Amino acid sequence: MLAPGYIDVQVNGGGGVLFNEDPTPEGIARIAAAHRKHGTVGLLPTLVTDAPQVMAAAIAGTREARQLNPATLGVHLEGPFLDPARKGAHELRYIRDLKPDDIATIAAANCGAVMLTLAPNRVDGASIAELARHGVLISLGHSNASYAEASAAVKAGAHAFTHLFNAMSAPAGREPGMVGAALDLDEAFVGIIADGHHVHEANLRIAFAAKRHDRFMLITDAMPPAAGGPDQFDLQGRRVTCAEGSLRLEDGTLAGSVLTMDEAVRFAVEVTEIELGDALAMASRVPATFLRRESELGRIAPGYLASLVHLDDDLHVLETWIEGRSSSGS
């Protein structure tokens, strides 16, 4: 089967490389090469919350990588403007409030798509609107925000929700929370980690039943062990270990995943029984639309880039092409 190549908007690393530790064109190329073996033709290298100088290096590295590697579609800054109450594996000492200088830096990134995950209960609507005016793709996550706060952020210009169900306020009887907002707000895109560790299978089925499928993006949230890396690595001085398919800090906190996009597609189809076409779209056409690249990527049609994946009957990757060039270079 020939399908549109996969697009992953949340890739912290892979093949033994962590973007935070190697935010260079070379590091990005190694991450992209590792995930290409699993059908990924485009990705956003993703920086978890870190020091300002690391963010600057990540933006600069992505800008240069864009000139060298067509798989680099931009950058995802996951933080540092998050809610400490929902920090997950993000390092508390780096979480901070958004300042005008930050808006200027992010707005001037000039490195393709710029996706920014922020907490809507920590960033005001005017700042969200200003970032959106500069083309920043704002995603809401790592937050205890209420439904009203999340809805106001979307109205101000936020576009998406980061890893649905994880590190966000859950629904209760009279408070839908971030999860409720993500599922209820029709136009908002939603990233979701379909690996069997981050989200219960029933919640996947509930989510896919509750919201239009053309707003779901399968993401990996991949870390260095994904796509052939070692089972352990250090995240800002903290040891992360892979055990039974999940990555965790020593205190048990989930710290990204070892997921690849081909695995995410297979899991979504097998566990939720959604149509294969919908699962493939969640891995290609939907993220292409979110990134405003829907006229170039995510379809097999005249005028589109030949960024494709060849799958066997069990949805395992046989070959990947990026802009017409195969994995073997032909």
Q: Which residues are annotated as a binding site for substrate?
A: 89, 166-167, 174, 198, 254-256
Is 186 one of the catalytic residues?
A: no
- Which one of 8, 22, 195, 221 is the catalytic residue? 221
**Maximum Cα–Cα distance for the chain, whole Å?**
57
Instruction: Tell me the residue type at 241.
Output: T
Residue 279 and residue 218 in contact, taking contact as beta carbons nearer than 8 Å: yes
Count the Cβ atoms, other than its own, within 10 Å of residue 329.
Answer: 5
Torsion of CA 125, 51, 58, 257, to 10 degrees: -90
Cβ contact 116:139 at 8 Å: yes
Tell me if the bond preceding 80 is cis, omega within 30° of 0.
yes
CA distances from residue 287 to 6, 10, 45, 237, 251 in whole angstroms, order as listed: 9, 11, 14, 32, 33
Question: Which token pair is 78?
Answer: 């996951």
CA-to-CA distance for 176 and 186, rounded, in angstroms?
15
Q: Which residues are annotated as a binding site for Zn(2+)?
A: 78, 142, 163
Which residues carry a binding-site annotation? 78, 89, 142, 163, 166-167, 174, 198, 254-256
Residue 11 parent element (H or E): strand 6-11
- Residues serving a catalytic function are 221
